[in-house]
Amino acid sequence: MDVTWTRIISTDSGGSAFAEGGVMLELAEFAPPAPPLNLSPLMGAQSVRFILVPPGWDSPPHPAPARQWVVMLSGAAESTTSDGETRRFSPGDAVLVEDVTGVGHRTRCVSDVPWLAMVVTLA
């Protein structure tokens, strides 16, 4: 079984673009005596924080402060890369943000409720 996600990457031209990422899951024991379940390999993390953004919040283009996962918990956000592509993210979506150099991406809250996300900075 595969798990896939969206990535925001830096391009060689100093811009940003969307790309796809993914990993294979393998059946393994996780919390015995619970039955085995499908697991990904471990990924190192440095820190976890939550962000809460009010409806209408809009950022200018910016690079990510670090390579990080942004996991959408409530509300909705829309990100636009420097090549002009826009994608909308809703609760349950996870985005691996890797555009730590260059002009970065624009993000805005596009829901009528605050956008809440968990941000996991990678090691």
Domains located in the chain, CATH noted: 2-122 (2.60.120.10)
Mean residue pLDDT of the chain comes to 97
Whether residue 33 has a cis bond before it, omega within 30° of 0:
yes
Q: Is the pLDDT of residue 123 over 90?
A: no
Q: Checking DSSP bridges between strand 2-10 and strand 94-97, what pairing results, if any?
A: parallel
In this predicted structure, the answer to whether residue 32 has a pLDDT above a threshold of 70 is yes
Neighbouring C-beta atoms of residue 115, cutoff 10 Å: 25
Mean pLDDT, residues 118-122 taken together: 98
Instruction: Give the tens place of pLDDT for each residue, 40-96.
Output: 999 999 999 999 999 999 999 999 999 999 999 999 999 999 999 999 999 999 999
Number of C-alpha atoms within 13 angstroms, CB side, residue 29? Answer: 4
Query: For residue 1, is pLDDT > 70?
Result: no
